[in-house]
Amino acid sequence: MNYDYNANDILEMAIQIEKNGAVFYRNSAEAVSEPSHKKLLLGLANMEDQHEQTFAQMKANLSEEEKKSTTFDPDEEAGMYLKALADTRVFFEKEMPTGPPSMKDILKEAIVAEKDSIVFYLGMKDFVPEKLGKDRVEQVIKEEMGHIKLLSNQLTSLKK
């Protein structure tokens, strides 16, 4: 079966990825003891929450054409499939190293996850026809690129 994703599908995955990212940062904040590191990680979790809201708003503003399903799905299994796909691609449950993780390790793991999300969205963009909101996917990619810049700056500041 051939399946074209629409902007609604991609934004649903983006929302799930942001939720997963917020959980990752909150769990990481619980694992560190340094107050400034906790504050940074909780700030990153809040940024993920804000991006989730951004993507939810983008989804709410989609046209009917951009929301139109491209496959027959009477049991509404596509939503479960998309959630599972997002859960296994980016910010999935990662095992923390034994002992307390270093802030450097957490930031490196987060950068990898953000890069994975960009690769994921770039790949998915090819499945979204122009008329179904390909430009919306490009907005998601730009948001994720901003995450990498912030994380990289934080990692660099730790090395000083």
Domains assigned to the chain = 7-64+103-159 (1.20.1260.10)
Residue 134 to residue 153: CA distance in whole angstroms: 30
Average pLDDT over residues 79-98: 56
Position 155 scores a pLDDT of 92
DSSP H helices, the chain, are 7-31, 35-60, 64-67, 77-89, 103-125, 134-159
Is residue 140's pLDDT more than 50?
A: yes
Residue 131's pLDDT is 73
Pick from 8-17, 94-103, 120-129: least confident: 94-103
Query: In the prediction, which pLDDT does 1 show?
Result: 44
CB 91 within 8 A of CB 113: yes
d(CA 150, CA 124): 24
Confidence class for position 90, pLDDT limits 50, 70, 90? low
Q: Are 105 and 39 in contact (CB under 8 A)?
A: no
pTM of the model: 0.76
Indicate the pLDDT class of residue 101, thresholds 50, 70 and 90.
Answer: confident
Mean pLDDT score, 46-70? 81
Q: Look over the chain and give the mean of its residue pLDDT values, rounded to a whole number.
A: 79
- Of residues 141 and 63, which shows the higher confidence score? 141
pLDDT at 149 over 90: yes
SS3 state at 85: helix
Question: CA 105 to CA 103: how far, in whole Å?
Answer: 5
**Range in 42-46, 109-113, 134-138 with the lowest mean pLDDT:** 134-138
Let me know: does 73 contact 82? Beta carbons within 8 Å: no
